[in-house]
């Protein structure tokens, strides 16, 4: 096991870069030959700025946290911290369980990025993209990357994710995030079958709609099960994939949503009243409050009459 872990550790960066490059080229060619939708913005400019943002994020993580998630897994494994260390499961089963558990954590984290105003400010960078293609999957603000890393570190220590589990999950997450953001066409029958196993581009594209109810669904990145089990699954957008509008209301200017300086400033500008889960929650609370007040007043009147 030590030699296997050592091989993974020594080749981690190579594995991640190779996975990234293969998916970028493969999905990029696929959406060039068989695009799902026409692009709204110049593709070359989007790729240039999104890749620059991804390079900035990677440099920031390597500078501030050189070991990152893998180093935390090594630390936790050496001290046998976490739930998976309570038993004696084979490494293969530990990896499978860890990948599924981490995927649930990412789903819940994604929901929270839509529910909390401060986190939504960061996540708007991802959703403000007026297009939806393979590079949208790497379009995240550096502060969101840091918050996500903190959540991931806590989950790794709590679950007791082995080093192999972290590396497998990281490679899968990068690959699937680029796949399910692809502007690619899949035959409807194949898409219906695949979305029982993985999140497909058509499934996740609904989540990038400007419509509030559509943006509040399909939060999964790898596995589609959490959306189906927890009631956040929506099969298709109302207007269809070709006619739906992607992005955020009020954030449509190229200087704001297309170029790197504008992307870095998005968390610090404009109010956050447009984030959808919290607005829906406030309406729910108002309905509950208004439904309780008449009943209370009615009880008071009945007491007076008696």
160 and 45 both lie in a single domain:
yes
- pLDDT at residue number 286: 52
> Containing domain of residue 146, as a range?
2-274
296 and 270 both lie in a single domain:
no
Are 84 and 97 within 8 A, CB to CB?
yes
pTM: 0.86
156 and 299 both lie in a single domain:
no
| Cα-based distances in Å from 18 to 12, 22, 26, 200 | 10, 6, 12, 22
Choose the weakest-confidence range: 12-21, 27-36, 273-282: 273-282
120 and 269 both lie in a single domain:
yes
Residues shown for the chain: 306
- DSSP states of 247-273: SBTTB--HHHHTSHHHHHHGGGSS-ST
268 and 295 both lie in a single domain:
no
Mean pLDDT, range 196-212, rounded to an integer? 96
268 and 299 both lie in a single domain:
no
How many separate domains does the chain show?
Answer: 2
**DSSP-based three-state secondary structure for 222:** coil
pLDDT in tens, 73-98: 989 998 999 999 998 899 899 999 99
299 and 161 both lie in a single domain:
no
30 and 134 both lie in a single domain:
yes
150 and 199 both lie in a single domain:
yes
| Cα-based distances in Å from 233 to 163, 222, 224 | 32, 14, 8
Contacts of 38 (CB under 8 A, 6+ apart): none
306 and 169 both lie in a single domain:
no
- Select from 211, 213, 201, 203 the least CA-distant residue to 247: 211
284 and 163 both lie in a single domain:
no
Are 69 and 156 within 8 A, CB to CB?
yes
Q: What are phi and psi of 218, to 5 degrees?
A: 50, 60
């Amino acid at each position: 096991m030590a030699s296997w872990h050592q091989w993974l550790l020594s080749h981690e960066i190579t594995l991640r870069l190779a996975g990234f490059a293969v998916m970028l080229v493969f999905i990029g060619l696929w959406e060039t030959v068989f695009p799902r939708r026409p692009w709204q913005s110049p593709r070359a400019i989007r790729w240039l700025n999104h890749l620059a943002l991804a390079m900035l994020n990677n440099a920031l993580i390597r500078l501030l946290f050189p070991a990152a998630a893998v180093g935390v897994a090594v630390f936790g494994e050496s001290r046998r911290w976490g739930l998976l260390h309570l038993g004696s499961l084979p490494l293969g089963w530990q990896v499978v369980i860890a990948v599924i558990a981490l995927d649930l954590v990412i789903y819940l984290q994604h929901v929270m990025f839509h529910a909390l105003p401060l986190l939504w400010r960061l996540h708007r960078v991802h959703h403000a993209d007026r297009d939806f293609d393979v590079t949208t999957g790497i379009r995240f603000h550096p502060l969101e990357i840091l918050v996500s890393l903190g959540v991931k570190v806590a989950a790794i220590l709590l679950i007791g994710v082995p080093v192999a589990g972290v590396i497998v999950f990281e490679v899968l997450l990068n690959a699937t995030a680029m796949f399910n953001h692809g502007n690619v066409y899949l035959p409807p029958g194949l898409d219906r079958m695949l979305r029982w196993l993985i999140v497909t581009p058509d499934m996740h594209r609904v989540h990038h709609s400007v419509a509030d109810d559509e943006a509040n669904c399909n939060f999964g990145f790898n596995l589609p099960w959490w959306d189906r089990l927890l009631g956040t699954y929506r099969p298709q957008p109302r207007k269809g994939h070709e006619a739906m509008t992607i992005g955020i209301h009020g954030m449509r200017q190229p200087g704001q949503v297309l170029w790197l300086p504008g992307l870095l400033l998005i968390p610090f500008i404009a109010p956050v009243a447009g984030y959808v889960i919290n607005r829906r929650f406030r309406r729910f609370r108002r309905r509950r409050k208004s439904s309780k007040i008449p009943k209370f007043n009615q009880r008071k009147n009945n007491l007076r009459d008696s």
